[in-house]
Chain A
Amino acid sequence: MSKGVLVNLTKCIGCGGCTVACKMYNNNKWIDKRAPASGENAQLADENWTIIKKFKLYKNGNTQVWRFVKNQCLHCQSPSCVSACFAKALQKKDNGAVVYFPDNCVGCRYCMLACPFKIPKFEWNKAMPVITKCVMCYGRMKENKAPACVSVCPESVMKFGDRDELLEEAKVIIKNNSMYVKHIYGEEEAGGTSWIYISDVPFEKIGFNTNVVKKPLPIYTSLYMKCTPIFGAIWVIVLTAFYFITKRRNVIKNESCELSYKKSVDECADNKLSQEANTVKSDDVFVNAGQKKRRK
């Protein structure tokens, strides 16, 4: 069953507790000088998987209001980052989470380009950088616990549950209360997201990308990215075939050598030598760099 989170932005008081929870649970550093986790200058970053961004705006004409917006990965139903990732470092799980496996990551950063919400970040400051992003506290979800940020919120801004049920709940809320904007962000954006938002101020005024297409985005990338595994498979087959062909050729040579009693032993030995030389040559093509290093 696909889980989701309903974020009711009208309830957020901007305490930033969720950003603390995320850092505590995921052991992320505070980098407030470079990128604050909350406030008007809050910014998603490699160490900031979630932020609370403050907006000052006018509602109904001239009443100034403050609104706080929680940002993190929206965990798309059909995530473009996942389809962009040929290394399978990003995977969409059955429970809805888009999870990242750093050990698989080759660092190509295609996911960063693919994500319509600019969520994946790269650890530019590290010697061995990987991608980072909110993983919906996959570890907690597996134990039927709500994500860290959801659990700690003192105002119950976020509700964790079955995405379909939350969507129904959101519809009821915005239908029965005229305060709300008649739109559920994430219902259809990018083909639907696991995290969905309701608000009393227009989404475009509080930093949401309202131009994102409603169709699932991966349609665009998946056509060719889907082929990556097939290419991988073909590659293996081709190399194996090469190997057998070379080997068989040599074996045949050797066999003929053994069969022909008339040929001298020396000739046979020569044959073997040249065959070794061949192997080295063909190896050179592949491990040129490695070999050079080793020979130094």
Chain B
Amino acid sequence: MISESSSNSNDKNSNLSEPTKIDGGANDDSDTFNGGADSSELSRRIFLKLAGVGIAAGVAGGCDSTFGGLKPSGGEGWLPAQYNVSGDFPVQVRGRIPIDPQNPSITRDNQKCILCGQCVEVCSKVEAVMHNYELPIIDDIPCICCGQCTLWCPTGAITEVDDSDLLMQAIENPDLHVVVQTAPSTRVALGEEFGLSVGTNVEAYQVSALKQLGFDKIFDTNFSADLTIMEEGTELVKRVKGEKKAPLPQLTSCCPGWVKYCEYFYPDLVPNLSSAKSPMTMMGAMIKTYYAKKSNIDPKKIFSVAIMPCTAKKFEAIRPEMNHSGIKNNDPSIRDIDLVLTTRELAKLIKRKGLDFLNLPPAKYDSLLSEYSGAGVIFGATGGVMEAAVRTAYHLLAGDPPKFLFNLEPVRGLAGVKEAKLNIPNVGGIKIAVVSGMHNTHKVLERVRENKSDWHFIEFMACPGGCISGGGQPRSAVPPSDSVRTARINALYSADEKATIRLSYENHEIKAIYKDYLGEPNGELAHELLHTHYGDRSKNLTAKNKKGSNKEK
């Protein structure tokens, strides 16, 4: 009897089934454990026994995962396919770019990042920033603020730093006179945000929308592009003639992404940068001096906004150098530009305000700082600055430019590096080059560095294709495609073609501003307000040696 009942109690099954059946149902008395017990007592016993068995098995089995299928923590999520390989084979496209939380131009929502590696691709291979400096880093997360990553990031994790709330606060502030300027490229891309085909020119609707948003004055950066040409073209002529003691080739300085790149990677060539400011900051300086004076407005009360195709412009606006209007007004705290919004932010604002963009009444820019020549329009395309500058430089050196300068084929198109040679009477051959996409800079600048170049003037734009495909433009193809770029570029060239005036120096408002206010191009006041100098960022970064990589070019 004893042995029978003990074996019974050790059998797990006996706990779960009717004990009477196991014992043949006759010998109730012998089953001390279950016999005659009611069901609540049964469970108590089961509990105790199971606990005993559990402890025993746990101790014996070491609670290993082999026992009872225990699951270790972690591993419930996923990673993109490229990371799911065994062994230590290299993963080509991986990781993501670093973004300083203090970056004025771009930001990232970590929760949306899927580590696809696209930002690294564009940053390191198109813009040649990431992976192009030595490690360890010094005291900066190198970034030229171009914003191309915002166009490549498939999930939209990387975006521009959104300043639209600051803008609305300024507009709603009755004490502020809010003035806005719009870059050449925004008008050929903004429509894409409202369903128009890529490359539609919506200049008049954009002005109308800005009026509806509550801006007090709307000026056109195309005007200050003409102004830039006057200053930069004159500077080039002076360098060529030896009147200005500055090295050749002259390098353009209107792209803030490129300027920062030069400061990081080619600090020795900073003296080659044109001292002329960019169209945006020239306009900023004019608004708070010339316009303020003309309209009798206290420059301190002017809030100067720029709608740009570019995230680097947000960085340029806060560069310490860009307060020439402040210095002129004896208050260095006055900035040339107070706020920069990208094309995308403008589109978001228009949508937020519920404006029926496509049915807005077409409107015109305000006069004084808005008339533009065809040369100013094409600033937004790669090669455009060069073409515009050459038209004016030719004029300054040899009189009216010939026909072919109105369609300078060799510098048009999407090639990363373009070259041309012009024969200018009395001067001889002038050699020019055009570069877009910072990975192309090395091919050109290593030669300049080694003094093996005979270029006189080189245009640089950080974004492939120029500002029309800038980091602040609508994401009409992700990543941006050449067809989108070409459509936008064509829109600019056709605007140039249709323009009645195609030479910066023929722009009436340009003539007026020199006559009424600035005096001479490169003159004293022009220098004070429209020129600047750039710095050296090489102490913040150790550039990788690029020598030898493009020897043959």
Contact (Cβ within 8 A) A39 B101 = yes
Question: Which of B48, B83, B85, B141: most chain A CB closer than 10 A?
Answer: B83
CB proximity to A under 8 Å, residues B1-20? 1-2, 5-6, 9
Contact (Cβ within 8 A) B87 A13 = no
Residue on B with the closest CB to A99? B72
CB proximity to A under 8 Å, residues B192-224? none
A17-B96, A250-B32 known; A152+B2 contact, CB < 8 A: no
Q: Which residues of B contact A119 (CB under 8 A)?
A: none
Contact (Cβ within 8 A) A15 B29 = no
Shortest distance from the beta carbon of B475 to any chain A beta carbon, whole Å = 22
In the complex, the number of residue pairs spanning A and B with C-beta atoms less than 8 Å apart equals 203
Contact (Cβ within 8 A) B85 A145 = yes
Contact (Cβ within 8 A) A24 B55 = no
Contact (Cβ within 8 A) B72 A135 = yes
Residue on A with the closest CB to B109? A30
CB proximity to B under 8 Å, residues A216-267? 229, 232-233, 235-236, 239-240, 243-244, 247-248, 250-251, 254-255, 258
Shortest distance from the beta carbon of A106 to any chain B beta carbon, whole Å = 11
Q: Which residues of B contact A248 (CB under 8 A)?
A: 2
Q: Which of A49, A134, A143, A286 contacts B48 (CB 8 A)?
A: A286
User: Complex Cα distance A247/B74, Å?
Assistant: 47
Contact (Cβ within 8 A) B41 A255 = no
Question: What band does the interface of chain B fall in when counting residues whose beta carbon is under 8 Å from A?
Answer: 35 or more
Contact (Cβ within 8 A) B86 A20 = no
Q: Which of A32, A104, A137 contacts B74 (CB 8 A)?
A: A137
Contact (Cβ within 8 A) A232 B87 = no
Q: Is B337 an interface residue (CB 8 A)?
A: no
Shortest distance from the beta carbon of A31 to any chain B beta carbon, whole Å = 11
Contact (Cβ within 8 A) A287 B79 = no
Shortest distance from the beta carbon of B56 to any chain A beta carbon, whole Å = 5
Q: Which residues of A contact B99 (CB under 8 A)?
A: 15
Q: Is B166 an interface residue (CB 8 A)?
A: no
Q: Which residues of B contact A143 (CB under 8 A)?
A: 86
Q: Which of A66, A87, A294 contacts B63 (CB 8 A)?
A: A87
Q: Which residues of B contact A160 (CB under 8 A)?
A: 88
Q: Which residues of B contact A151 (CB under 8 A)?
A: 79, 83, 91, 94
Shortest distance from the beta carbon of A41 to any chain B beta carbon, whole Å = 10
Residues of B within 8 A of A (CB): 1-2, 5-6, 9, 29-30, 32-33, 36-37, 40-41, 43-45, 47-48, 52, 55-56, 58-59, 62-65, 70-79, 83-88, 91, 94-99, 101, 110-111, 113-115, 117, 120, 130-131, 135-141
Residues of A within 8 A of B (CB): 10-11, 13-17, 19-21, 23-28, 30, 32, 37, 39, 49, 56, 63-67, 87-89, 91, 99-104, 130, 132-135, 137-140, 143-146, 148, 151-155, 160-161, 200, 229, 232-233, 235-236, 239-240, 243-244, 247-248, 250-251, 254-255, 258, 272, 275-276, 279-280, 283, 286-287, 290-291, 294-295
List 19 contacting pairs A-B, 8 Å CB cutoff, sorted by A: A17-B96, A20-B113, A21-B79, A24-B77, A24-B114, A25-B74, A56-B139, A66-B141, A67-B136, A99-B73, A137-B74, A137-B75, A139-B75, A145-B84, A145-B85, A146-B88, A148-B79, A155-B95, A251-B1
